[in-house]
Amino acid sequence: MIAFTRAHTYFKKLNTELLGLSVDSNNSHLAWLYDIYCKTGIKVSFPIIADRNGEIARKYGMISSEISNTETVRNVFIIDDKGIVRTILIYPMNIGRFIPEIIRIVNALQIADCSQGSTAANWLPNQPVIVPTPTTFEKLEERNAEIINNRNGISWYLSFKNIPEKCLNSEYNNECN
């Protein structure tokens, strides 16, 4: 919770909201939040849902009956503005989440959607995206000519384009959707 709160500004810049879910009670949440504040001075900046009966956690596969009936695994769900789960990260109980990777994934999903491209392995923000493969032989020939002229790929099936300017703006959702 502390790490996500510290990174909340970055998520906001990506037009992303954070939401916590726990099978603990609201009183437990208040005690955690107060303890975090007293010990660190940090006020957790996002809501936490008390899922006492585990109904939501079970629907999302966050409780493994083989391990425990009440202990949730450490999941991260990236859900888009249409309510579609786009990414699920599952962390074992003894492994912390890696916030920079979560931010990178949100950024990559938004850039890929806006640019109508794909991000490559090890993609980082501001790097080019992969152009979708051509769907006809004529477009394949055009793509090969473009690669020769622009030196922006290795073949018709793997070429790149720079991210359109509108996609680099954090408010791009309004323009691209």
Instruction: State mean pLDDT over 54-79.
Output: 77
pLDDT at 119 over 80: yes
| pLDDT for the residue numbered 58 | 85
Q: Which residue, 128, 129, 131, is CA-closest to 156?
A: 131
Q: What is the CATH number of the domain that holds 168?
A: 3.30.1020.10
| Residue 89 and residue 145 in one domain | no
| Residue 77 and residue 120 in one domain | no
Report which of residues 145 and 63 the model is more confident about: 145
Report which of residues 172 and 31 the model is more confident about: 31
Tally of domains in the chain: 2
Residue ending a domain, among 48, 65, 96, is 96
| Residue 90 and residue 125 in one domain | no
| Residue 58 and residue 126 in one domain | no
Going by C-beta distance under 8 Å and a sequence separation of 6 or more, which residues neighbour residue 51? 21, 22, 23, 57
Residue range of the domain that includes 68? 2-96
